[in-house]
Structure 1
Amino acid sequence: MSAVGAGFRAEIARIGRTRVDLILLTLMPLILLGSMAAMLFAGSPYGLKTVIVDHDGGALGRAIARDIAASHGLRIVARSADLDSAMAMIRSERAVAAVVIPHGVGSRVADGAPVEIFHQAVFLSTGALAATNLRAVITATLLRARARDAGLGQVAGARLPLPGIAVTILGNPTTSFEWYLGLLLGPGILHLMIAVTCVSSIGALMEDHGFAAFVRRTPAPVATLVGRLLPHIAAGTLWGIIWMLWLTLARGYRPEGSLMLIIVGLVLLFAATAALALLLVAATREVSTSLSGAVILAGSALAYSGASLPLTGAGLFARVWSQILPLTHFMTLQMDQVMGVAAMPFLRNAAVLLLYPLVAGGAGVLLIRRAEARA
């Protein structure tokens, strides 16, 4: 019987006896991932509440309002005579955006003015999404009106070049919040839970705030530690695979790159998580302190990964802390595969993730051996 296998079987038996760890590795991921799947099931916000302020009252103004009402992402909740009442609705959260259609809209008369869009930036995502949808709908309506007024609506062979900007969305062509947030939150939640269970696993080997007794009674302590951590790495990887299969097979999203490389990245992420947990327990020799450290490291990882909040222009501490955390490099690896980039960025981020078991894990093993030597 190898020491790794013996450690693996011993850890499986301990998890079966320890109700908290068993729940954290089985029931809790199911509850959290299932709840998140239910919350994100709609894909993107739709029916965003919009107020129409029509100062024109003409056919074009009515066409703009009609097209906004027909848009799946928008819903007209009121038509107001003035901007002040529309802004009051936005401030009271009865609406997300307001559209002001000026007198003489689309014309060249002196009092003609552009259509204005006001949106609530306090709720940044929904406000920006409402403004984007409104801009697209209104632009399309105005272009159709311009072509019709120019007498081109019935000319079959007319080719009217319109200058503009062509935008191609990579990685998330449907601009779905479910795909975007699922890629972020799923690994982030699992990263935190595996960090906590790994600390619990290694802490169970301590006696009298040290590892001396464990090292003395164990013929191959390093291999046993590896075996003890493998069930947690396997559990995190399995739940990560289930989550990716839910997003891809069940929900129909598709990465442009390799799903298999994302799974390899998951294995490396949870190996790095286990190595950091080992270092925390070996350095502090306190389970409670190590759990606090694990929560700080893994709990803050998503915010500092650069995937949700940009780090461009951030302070030195934020940039350095981001590079210390393994989730940052996994997120870069994963998003690269979602966009379908070349192999070299994957190899670079995979190599960085491999440093955690080597450096952090090696430092933890060294501290454990030194504890035995001191004893």
Structure 2
Amino acid sequence: MSGLRRALWAELAHLARDRFDLALLTVLPLLCLVVMGGMLSGGSPKGLGVMIVDQDHSAASRGVIRAIEASDAVRVIGVGSDLAEAFAAVRQERAVAVVVLPSGLGDGRARAVPRAVEIFYQTAFLSTGVLASTRLQLAVAAELAAQATAQAGLGGVRLLRAPLPGVQVTLLGNPGASLEWYLGLLIGPAVLHLLIAVTTAASLGRELEDGSLAAWARRVGNPAAALVGRFLPHVALGMLWLCLWLLWLTLAQGYRFDGAITLVAVGGALLFVGTAAVSALLIALTGEIATSLSASVIYAGSALAYSGASLPLTGGILFARVWSSVLPLTHFVALEMDQAIGVTLATWAQQAAVLALVPLLAGGAALLVIRRQARRAA
């Protein structure tokens, strides 16, 4: 029996005996994905509270209010003329945005400089505030444009005949601006990445003797094949959960990749193989399970924050940019988001090549350390 097969059967036998380790690969990811699916299943926030300060009290301002009320993303919780009262509603968390309709809004065409509609939104909760602001801008702009056309009358015939420049905004990869699709693509793989980092480190850490893998290396004969066999169940189960998560988002929830979902799955396999290789390197270098697990949680647990998908890194400090570039999750997220908009195969191959370097470099370094330990102990 080959070293790979022996290591594979030994790891499967351990998982069959140890219910806790088996639960880490089966029950825990199921619970995490189910909880995340439930939290994100609403898609985009609906009914975000909005206060309107109407200083014009005209047909034009009432039309704008009706247009805002017609949007399902926001909900008008009050209309008044006191700006302080509107801001108080924001501080009380009853509203995330305030719309100020200035006096003279209705006779804007008679002014050289039309009065501007002001929108204030809550930035403490950035996603909902920006979403509410965007929907409000669209509703107000559309209504004012319709009113301008209706008010043109006979005196504005020449203006009506002149073609006006049109503006159309189309969101690529996420046309519905769904937080479920966006966050689902980020959080699901990030959780599985952390899970594989922890379980693979714990698995190889069981073979430590006196802070070294030397005895294990001599016993298995071929450490490279033994590492592959030991980590194969972890990577395979991680891939199973990733594929089920992607199928949930696409088939069950109705989202879709403009590119190929199979290329995302291949990227996920490279991510998990690289994660296992990094775990092997940490165990070989530290010679301690606790230290390796701590390091795994630090690099894998913070990987999403440094991936550039949630927080922008452009113009950030050098450490953040360098740390982001060496984390495998950064390149998987880029690969995944690229497939959401359907990039070319050559662009996908660039990120896939970087992901493929991780197991080669980390795994190669781990084998060098393990073999050096074996020679010293001989």
TM-score, with length taken from structure 1: 0.96
Q: State the partner residue of 1:88.
A: 88
- CA separation in 1, counterparts of 2:226 and 2:370? 13
Give the partner amino acid of 1:208. D
User: Which shows bigger deviation, 53-62 or 273-282?
Assistant: 53-62
Aligned to 1:265: 267
Where does residue 221 of structure 2 map in the other structure?
219
Aligned mate of 2:239, from 237, 240, 247: 237
**Contact 2:50–2:98 (8 Å) recurs in 1:** yes
Q: 1:121 aligns with which of 98, 120, 123?
A: 123
On the 8 A contact 1:102/1:112 being kept in 2, the answer is no
Q: Displaced runs of 4+ in structure 1, greater than 4 A?
A: 109-112
Counting aligned pairs with the same residue, the percent is 54
Please report the TM-score for the alignment, with normalisation by the length of structure 2. Answer: 0.95
- Partner of 1:285 in structure 2? 287
- CA distance, structure 2, for counterparts of residue 316 and residue 135 of structure 1: 36
Q: Counterpart in 2 of 1:51?
A: 51
Instruction: Name the SS for the 2:16 alignment partner.
Output: helix
**Residue 159 of structure 1: how far off its partner (Å):** 5.9
Q: Give the letter aligned to residue 131 of structure 1.
A: S
| Equivalent runs, 1:10-25 vs 2, <5 Å | 10-25=10-25
Q: Does 1:40 align with 2:37?
A: no
Aligned equivalents of 1:146, 1:261: Cα separation in 2: 49
Displacement of 1:221: 2.5
**159-168 vs 268-277, which moves further:** 159-168
Q: Aligned with 1:117: secondary structure? A: strand
Offset, 1:80 = 2.1
The count of aligned residue pairs is 371
Q: Which runs of 5+ in 1 are unaligned?
A: none
Whole-angstrom distance in 1 between the partners of 2:80 and 2:19: 59
Distance in structure 2 (CA, Å) of the matches to 1:113 and 1:167: 24
Residue 300 of structure 1, aligned match among 288, 296, 302 = 302
Letter in 2 for 1:100: V
Query: Contact conserved, 2:3 with 2:220, CA < 8 A, in 1?
Result: no
User: Residue 29 of structure 2 aligns with which residue?
Assistant: 29
CA contact (8 A) 2:100 2:119 kept: yes
CA distance in 1, matches of 2:114, 2:270: 60
How far did residue 208 of structure 1 move? 2.2
Q: Deviations over 1:275-305 (max 9, x none)?
A: 0000000000000000000001101110011
Alignment match of 1:166 (pick from 168, 172, 176) = 168
8 Å contact 1:179–1:253 — kept in the other structure? yes
CA distance in 2, matches of 1:50, 1:221: 62
Asked if the contact 1:106–1:142 (Cα under 8 Å) also holds between the matched residues in 2, the reply is: no
Report SS of the residue matched to 2:93.
Answer: coil
Counterpart code for 1:114: A
Partners of 1:160 and 1:285 in 2: CA distance: 76
- Provide the C-alpha distance between the structure 1 equivalents of 2:309 and 2:21, rounded to a whole number of angstroms: 29
Query: CA RMSD, aligned part only?
Result: 1.6
Structure 1 residue 160 displacement after superposition: 5.3
**How do residues 1-375 of structure 1 correspond to structure 2 at under 5 angstroms?**
1-108=1-108, 109=110, 113-151=115-153, 161-375=163-377
Preserved CA contact (<8 Å) 1:106 1:112: no
- State whether residues 40 and 178 of structure 1, in contact with CA within 8 Å, keep that contact through their aligned partners in structure 2: yes
Deviations 1:15-42 (A, max 9, x none): 2222322111001111111111111111
* CA displacement at 1:112 relative to structure 2: 5.8
Structure 2 SS opposite 1:77: strand
